Amino acid sequence: FEQFEQLYDLRMVLETTAAHRLCEDGLRRGGTVDRALLDELAAIWLVPAAQRSADTVQVSQWDEAFHCALVAAAGNMEMARVHRDVTDRIRIIRRLDFTKQARIDATYDEHAKILKAIQRKRGDQAAMLLRAHIETSQAEVRKITLHQVHLARVGAAR
């Protein structure tokens, strides 16, 4: 768990930094915001409830793509590379977060709020929303993982 906690910490730093950069008028140290990437995200996540996907595999893939695209859109390719590496390393446990419809609904709502804050150039709000979103997902994944370990132990003891 400690390694995953450290990877989630790194993910948090990268994504909240990217959110701030996406809201800056002129990016520091070169690089430009990729507005087309942000528009692609809006087309998936800023949709009426009736148009939302309930496919857990698809939503899981879209969720991962959402977070990677936010970092990539901020224009720092080294940050994006490191973020993709972190994403690859936590993928197996992140996908546990999409086993319940309530978590899928929450992901849509949370992603929509994050995108709207970025569109309004409210970096602090976008970073705060991202932090809460990641922490909630992390807690849910931890709970599911601990439950699975418990079930495995009970099954092995029989």
* DSSP assignments along the chain, one per residue: -HHHHHHHHHHHHHHHHHHHHHH-SS-TTS----HHHHHHHHHHHSS-GGG----HHHHHHHHHHHHHHHHHHTT-HHHHHHHHHHHHHHHHHHGGGGSSHHHHHHHHHHHHHHHHHHHTT-HHHHHHHHHHHHHHHHHHHHHHHHHHHHHHHHHHH-
What pTM was computed for the model?
0.88
Residue 120's pLDDT band, with cuts at 50, 70 and 90, is very high
pLDDT at 28: 54
pLDDT 10s digits, 85-101: 999 999 888 877 777 88
At 129, is the pLDDT very low, low, confident or very high (cuts 50, 70, 90)? very high
**Residues making up the chain, counted from first to last:** 158
Confidence of residue 147 (pLDDT cuts 50, 70, 90): low
pLDDT score of 100: 81
